[in-house]
Amino acid sequence: MRALPGEGVTVPIWVLGSSTDSAYLAAQMGLPYAFAAHFAPTHMMQAFAIYKEYFRPSDVLDKPYAMACVNVIAADSNEEAAFLSTSMYKMFLGIFTNSREPLMPPFDPAGLSDLWTPEQEYGVKHMLSHAFIGDKNRIEKDLKTFVENTGIQEIMTITQIFDQSKKEHSFKLFTEIMKGNN
């Protein structure tokens, strides 16, 4: 196989997956593994366990190395984060119901109950069960527990915030959290 224009460069190869099949593949090949918990959390813990159990050392890695991809909405307060997260909830409802639209402005979180049926709410909240939403203290606490439970070495984030300056601020706050954990 030839990859153009990247031929000859040494870019680290990862296996990204959202199922247990990808965990087996990454383990058999001895490659780093990233799980897409930002939209498909159902099999995350099982996938990480499979990856660790079946990992075969390779020229790339001598032991398992895993990453989780998660949603993060950090703000100066938990209330502001809850407000900003309504855009993400509405977007994921569109994915769940196959009625997608661009990311919309946030709205009063009290209006979420008018947005969905109980089944849709369950489905959306399940898809976002590994989302980190809150102020720095809440996210730091929740993230610490998540890392301990998963055993991951890296985290990749996505931030579904409508306002670009609020999105940049969320990344800034998350960076501060991560720097504090090193």
pTM of the model: 0.89
How far, in Å, CA of 108 to CA of 66, rounded? 37
DSSP 79: H
How far, in Å, CA of 86 to CA of 57, rounded? 43
Preceding amide of 5 cis, omega within 30:
yes
Specify the pLDDT at position 2: 75
> Is 156 strand, coil or helix?
strand
Q: Which residues pair with 73 in a beta bridge?
A: 133
Specify the pLDDT at position 10: 80
Identify the residue whose tokens are 């090193």.
182
Q: Is the pLDDT of residue 49 over 70?
A: yes
List, for residues 125-166, the tens digit of each pLDDT value. Answer: 999 999 999 999 999 999 999 999 999 999 999 999 999 999
What residue ranges do the domains of the chain occupy? 15-72+133-180, 77-129
E strand or H helix that includes residue 69: strand 66-74
Q: Is the pLDDT of residue 51 over 50?
A: yes
30, 56 in Cβ contact below 8 A?
Answer: yes
When pLDDT is cut at 50, 70 and 90, the band that residue 87 belongs to is very high
When pLDDT is cut at 50, 70 and 90, the band that residue 11 belongs to is confident
Specify the pLDDT at position 1: 66
Specify the pLDDT at position 181: 54
Quote the mean pLDDT of the chain. Answer: 94
